[in-house]
């Protein structure tokens, strides 16, 4: 118990000090993942697949818990595969069906966490495959921002949400990329709220009003419509959650925040499991952590758990006192601004691929130095050969290609692992041939 309390004190001392030193950066960073959260949350709420108020309250509570426990800007994101299936089969996966899918995933991740399967996966999945998943996720965010949010916009119409607004947001993003303390996400979030409010008033839609949250129990459905069965939705989500929301997010946290202790895959897995084993019973959206959200929040200034604690507090207040009355306002939020925020997040996530052959975790080796008479363990960076560099680069790109070509993390993972194993089998074969050749040279009878 004392060790747990000591751990929490250290994390929250870091949170408090970081927030005091750069409050605007932490607040701005907390809003970095809105480009992923808002479109899916609003679409599911409008079609009745989730309760908006319950989603805000529970995801806000999970934001606060994550910030306190982990001390890093760990996001709470929608489960994209489940959300996409629910939106694509509008009306078939009802609220109980979406809840059932979230429970299936939560139960599976819980079993994998407590049995050690997640720790085993980290050991057997090579770093080039992990980097490929991160690169693929980043490029997928960029492609999605262009195809679903920016490309459908016109140049001049609608007046409050067009490509000129997107161009303006992009130019400001480029101009301020070296100004780490500039609160880009905060400034453009407030601008987007103003534009959305103007649009709501112009179209005579309902403005947000005071409404106390009354929790509603939802009985999940575990086997539903054949085209959108909760268990099939969960099977589609499970590889994405395991690879991108647990394994990749821990690797990214180590890369982006080396001065902060990196959460273990088991702790992240238990967090994902417990979130979905609780919130879905009340119609809240199935959620997970994600490397894209972490990259987004880091890109816009977040460096500690204080950022997501702030975001969670705002979410809880909105969910408790406004709830579903926010749908009209959030539904009018400009896609032009959201699209640029998603694009920036994708770029930040894709950039981690550059360290594959220059400082990746598997290139660091421990060695013992006894030159002073005392054994000292030091860590040294191994410099891979040109051939090994190319092999690692090929595995990473094969993983990324599978993700982008089939729009499926599992396919990319399998492609990357097959490529990795092919190189290892080739190495074994070459060594065997060399051994036989060496033996034949030494023994004339074998010639």
**Which tens digit of pLDDT belongs to each residue from 26-58?**
999 999 888 888 888 888 888 888 999 999 999
Q: Pick from 30, 9, 6, 15: which is nearest to 304 by CA?
A: 15
Q: Pick from 407, 408, 295: which is nearest to 347 by CA?
A: 295
In whole angstroms, what is the distance from residue 159 CA to residue 140 CA?
28
Tell me how far CA of residue 311 lies from CA of 34, 41, 280, in angstroms: 10, 16, 21
Q: How far is CA 77 from the centre of its chain?
A: 7
Residue in the structure block whose two tokens are 């750069």: 22
Predicted confidence at residue 315, as pLDDT, reads 96
238: cis peptide before it, omega within 30°?
Answer: no
Tell me how far CA of residue 362 lies from CA of 252, 261, 337, 380, 421, in angstroms: 14, 18, 38, 11, 17
What are the structure tokens assigned to 226, written together? 């054949």
> What is the SS3 assignment for 364?
strand
In whole angstroms, what is the distance from residue 318 CA to residue 188 CA?
19
Predicted confidence at residue 376, as pLDDT, reads 47
- Domain boundaries in the chain? 1-352, 384-433
In whole angstroms, what is the distance from residue 185 CA to residue 183 CA?
6
Phi-psi region of 206 (alpha: psi -120 to 50; beta: other; left: phi over 0): beta
As a dihedral over the C-alpha atoms of residue 100, residue 101, residue 106, residue 112, rounded to 10 degrees, the angle is: 130
What are the structure tokens assigned to 8, written together? 């929490």
Predicted confidence at residue 115, as pLDDT, reads 95
Q: Pick from 99, 93, 107: which is nearest to 47 by CA?
A: 93
In whole angstroms, what is the distance from residue 166 CA to residue 155 CA?
9
Q: Pick from 424, 127, 100: which is nearest to 237 by CA?
A: 100
In whole angstroms, what is the distance from residue 401 CA to residue 420 CA?
14
- Per DSSP, 351 falls in state G
Residue in the structure block whose two tokens are 């480029």: 174
Positions in the chain short of pLDDT 50: 375-376, 446
Give strand pairing partners of 378. Answer: 367
- Angle (CA) 2-4-8 rounded to 5° is 115
Q: Pick from 113, 69, 62, 42: which is nearest to 289 by CA?
A: 62
Residue in the structure block whose two tokens are 């990319």: 412
Contacts 24+ apart (CB under 8 A), 374-382: none
CB-based contact 330:86 (threshold 8 Å): no
């Amino acid at each position: 118990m004392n060790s747990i309390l000591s751990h929490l004190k250290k994390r929250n001392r870091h949170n408090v000090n970081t927030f005091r030193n750069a409050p605007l950066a932490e607040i701005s960073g907390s809003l970095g993942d809105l480009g992923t959260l808002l479109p899916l949350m609003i679409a599911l709420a409008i079609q009745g697949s989730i309760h908006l108020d319950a989603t805000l309250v529970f995801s806000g509570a999970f934001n606060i818990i994550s910030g306190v426990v982990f001390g890093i800007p760990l996001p709470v994101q929608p489960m994209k595969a489940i959300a996409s299936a629910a939106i694509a089969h509008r009306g078939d996966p009802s609220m109980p069906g979406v809840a059932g899918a979230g429970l299936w995933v939560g139960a599976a991740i819980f079993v994998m966490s407590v049995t050690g399967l997640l720790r085993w996966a980290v050991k057997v999945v090579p770093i080039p495959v992990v980097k490929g998943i991160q690169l693929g996720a980043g490029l997928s965010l960029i492609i999605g921002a262009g195809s679903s949010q920016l490309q459908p916009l016109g140049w001049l119409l609608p007046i409050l949400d067009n490509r000129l607004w997107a161009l303006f947001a992009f130019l400001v993003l480029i101009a301020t990329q070296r100004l780490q303390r500039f609160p880009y996400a905060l400034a453009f979030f407030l601008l987007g709220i103003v534009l959305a409010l103007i649009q709501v008033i112009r179209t005579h839609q309902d403005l947000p009003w005071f409404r106390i949250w009354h929790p509603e129990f939802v009985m999940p459905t575990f086997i539903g419509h054949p085209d959108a069965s909760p268990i099939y939705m969960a099977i589609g989500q499970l590889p994405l959650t395991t690879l991108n929301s647990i394994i990749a997010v821990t690797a990214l946290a180590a890369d982006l925040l080396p001065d902060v202790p990196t959460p273990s895959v088991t702790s992240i897995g238990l967090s994902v499991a417990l979130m979905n084993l609780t919130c879905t019973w009340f119609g809240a959206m199935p959620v997970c952590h994600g490397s894209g959200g972490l990259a987004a929040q880091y890109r816009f200034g977040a460096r500690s758990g204080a950022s997501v604690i702030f975001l969670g507090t705002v979410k809880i207040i909105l969910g408790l006192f406004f709830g579903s009355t926010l749908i009209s306002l959030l539904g009018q939020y400009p896609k032009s601004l959201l699209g640029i925020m998603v694009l920036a997040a994708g770029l930040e996530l894709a950039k981690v691929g550059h360290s594959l052959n220059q400082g990746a975790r598997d290139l660091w080796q421990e060695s013992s130095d006894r030159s002073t008479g005392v054994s000292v363990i030091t860590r040294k960076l191994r410099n891979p050969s040109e051939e090994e560099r190319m092999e690692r680069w090929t595995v990473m790109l094969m993983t990324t290609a599978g993700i982008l070509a089939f729009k499926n993390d599992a396919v990319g993972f399998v492609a990357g692992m097959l490529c990795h194993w092919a190189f290892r089998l080739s190495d074994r074969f070459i060594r065997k041939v060399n051994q036989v050749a060496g033996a034949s040279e030494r023994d004339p009878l074998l010639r």
